[in-house]
Amino acid sequence: MDSVFSARGGAGAIPIWFVTAQTYPDVRKLIGADACAFADAAAFEPKPGRHLLLPGKNGLGGVLFGLEGADDTKDLFLPGRLPQHLPDGVYRFANEPHDARLAALAFALGTYRFARYRKVEARKLSLDLPQSLDRDDLGRTVEAVILARDLINTPANDMGPAELEAAAQKLAAQHGAACKSIVGDDLLAQNFPLIHAVGRAGAQAPRLIDLTWGDAGNHPRITLVGKGVCFDTGGLDIKPESSMLNMKKDMGGAATALALAHMIMARGLKVRLRVLIPAVENAISASSFRPRDIYTSRKGITVEISNTDAEGRLVLADALALADEDKPDLIADFATLTGAARVALGPDVPPFFTDDDALADELTASAARENDPLWRLPLWRPYEAMLESKVADINNVGGSQGGAITAALFMRRFVTATSWLHVDVFAWTASARPGRPEGGECQAARALYALLCARYG
């Protein structure tokens, strides 16, 4: 997708006027009598999401778009609805929306279409950015979100572990990073037994993708871990049809990690970056791992399998143990991990878990600034009792209650670093909203990117 941001400097760009009930009278003084008469004839009202195309001497003369009033709850991505209504052309913001940067980002993200499998008419729609905005940073953010959406939207027949590895290799080549993988039985030889156990039944061999970038000297070390379950049948504890339908998105954590990595590398942040992706398919065959199996993890912790559909935390456990061995300054993992997270907070607000209070405060603030919502849930240690096993060090599930918390507590056992962050993403938009078309979605990456820029930019 070409950049939606124009570099024309405003010449000839069609003005978009943002209006509220309070500001509409002032805007009417600026758009001219003919435009006001047309708006009145069209019975335009300055309500949130309403729009009107204004005629001009040579075609389209401008656009009115309604926003929330000063006292209303604001959707800062509401301008992302504009691309649905505008004809091709170059546009500019004629006045200030509630947040010009987020409005521009939402506009760009609202132009996204997944066109790999059917012909979609190409749009020639662009936005001439205000001079106050960082065009390069907005551009790399849009590229990252599109990368994540494309990966998540691609079905498992074209996005298995090998194709996910190829996507990581392509990103690494783009930024001069190194990328290697441990594949198949080599996982056993190099002590990644949980990744191997989960993925060995798949048609494609399981693998651990390892991307590294940046100066290994004095720069802070940041390690991102993304769950790369390219399709999840649930294993022998097979999912029902309704739960399996969207399991192509179960590699959404990996897509999120790669999207964040793109932003970090494209900006050239002064960090040593590592991305670890355990890429598997949780399939069903004679070699599937079974309920009540017990495996010794990379960290030496023995794990009893009570549910093969709790596979994401297993592959992450080995990857987190490897990440922890480097003692990085921050470990952040992203995973489409639990339905319990959706029950607690719904599809739009991923929960995050950390013992680092300063990190939690920074992330909460950056999530609010970026309109990339996150909510902290507790690593409630008394719930560790739910993970007890009578025959192993730990069980891979913790019962029917508090599932997002017990999943996070399970993974916490494999990390010694204090600055560890776990985000339970949904990675999907079930019905289109401004700036967020239906389908795969990149959650949490923009918030953490803003935090890292504030720390290391």
Residue whose pair of structure tokens reads 């609202």 in the numeric block: 110
Q: 1 pLDDT exceeds 60?
A: no
Contacts of residue 358, defined as CB under 8 A and 6 or more positions apart, other chains included, come to none
Judge contact between 298 and 192, C-beta under 8 A.
yes
* pLDDT at position 3: 80
Cα-based distances in Å from 28 to 17, 42, 43, 90, 381: 10, 14, 14, 22, 59
User: 284 pLDDT band (50/70/90 cuts)?
Assistant: very high
Query: What is the per-residue pLDDT for 217?
Result: 80
CB 396 within 8 A of CB 310: yes
Q: Is 239 among the catalytic positions?
A: yes
Q: Which tokens go with 69?
A: 């009033």
- CA 166 from centre of chain: 19
Q: Look over the chain and give the mean of its residue pLDDT values, rounded to a whole number.
A: 96
Secondary element (H or E) of residue 100: helix 100-109
pLDDT, tens digit, 9 for 90 and up, residues 234-264: 999 999 999 999 999 999 999 999 999 999 9
Cβ(311)–Cβ(232) below 8 Å = yes
Q: Which of 275, 351, 280, 340 is nearest to 314 (CA)?
A: 280
Task: Return d(Cα 440, Cα 113) in angstroms, integer.
Answer: 11
Between CA 17 and CA 188 the distance in angstroms is: 61
Which has the minimum average pLDDT: 121-125, 149-153, 222-226, 352-356? 121-125
Q: What is the pLDDT of residues 46-95, one digit of tens each?
A: 999 999 999 998 899 999 999 999 889 999 999 999 999 999 999 999 99
31 vs 224: CA distance, rounded Å: 49
Sign of the alpha-carbon dihedral angle for 127, 128, 132, 138: positive
Kindly provide the b/e burial profile for residues 115-144, where b requires at least 16 CB atoms within 10 angstroms of the residue's own CB: eeeeeeeeeebbbbbeeebebebbbbbbbb
Q: Choose among 257, 261, 202, 260: nearest CA to 228.
A: 257
In angstroms, the CA 93 to CA 345 distance is: 34
Helix (H, G, I), strand (E, B) or coil at 230: strand
Banded pLDDT at 457 (limits 50, 70, 90): confident
pLDDT at 139 over 60: yes
Could you tell me if 227 and 251 are in contact, meaning their C-beta atoms sit under 8 angstroms apart?
Answer: yes
444, 374 Cβ separation under 8 angstroms: yes
Put the strands of the sheet holding 294-296 in their side by side order.
294-296, 302-304, 394-395
Q: Is it the case that residue 45 has pLDDT exceeding 60?
A: yes
Query: Catalytic one among 313, 412, 413, 436?
Result: 313
The confidence score (pLDDT) of residue 8 equals 63
The H-or-E segment that residue 5 falls in is strand 5-6
155/173 Cα distance (integer angstroms)? 24
Following DSSP, what letter does each residue of 29-83 receive, concatenated?
Answer: HHH-HHHHHHHHHTT----TT-EEEEEETTEEEEEEEE---TTS---TTGGGGGG
The whole-number pLDDT of residue 417 equals 87
State the average pLDDT over residues 327-342. 98
pLDDT tens per residue across span 33-42? 999 999 999 9
| pLDDT of 218 over the 90 cut | no
Which domains, and CATH codes, for the chain? 5-133 (3.40.220.10), 139-456 (3.40.630.10)
The crossing angle, in degrees rounded to 10, of helices 161-175 and 252-267 is 10
Strand spans (E) along 110-197: 125-128, 178-183
Produce one character per residue of 340-369: b if its CB has 16 or more CB atoms within 10 Å, e if not: bbbebbebebbbbbbbeeebbebbbebbeb
Note the pLDDT of residue 9: 64
pLDDT score of 216 more than 80: no
Joined tokens for residue 429: 């938009």
Catalytic residue among 239, 267, 369, 455: 239
DSSP three-state, residue 457: coil
pTM (two decimals): 0.97
Residue bearing the bigger pLDDT, 199 or 7: 199
Give the model's pLDDT for residue 266.
98
pLDDT, mean of residues 402-415: 98
Structure tokens at 442: 């990149």
Alpha-carbon gap, residue 108 to 86, rounded angstroms: 13
Q: Which of 249, 240, 265, 86 is nearest to 170 (CA)?
A: 265
Reported as a pLDDT band with limits 50, 70 and 90, residue 142 is very high
- pLDDT over 60 (residue 300): yes
The three-class DSSP label of residue 110 is coil
Q: Is the pLDDT of residue 2 over 70?
A: no
Q: How far apart are CA 345 and CA 227, in angstroms?
A: 20
- Quick check: 444 and 259 in contact, CB under 8 A? no
SS3 20: coil
pLDDT at 290 (0 to 100): 98
Residue 201, pLDDT > 90, answer: yes
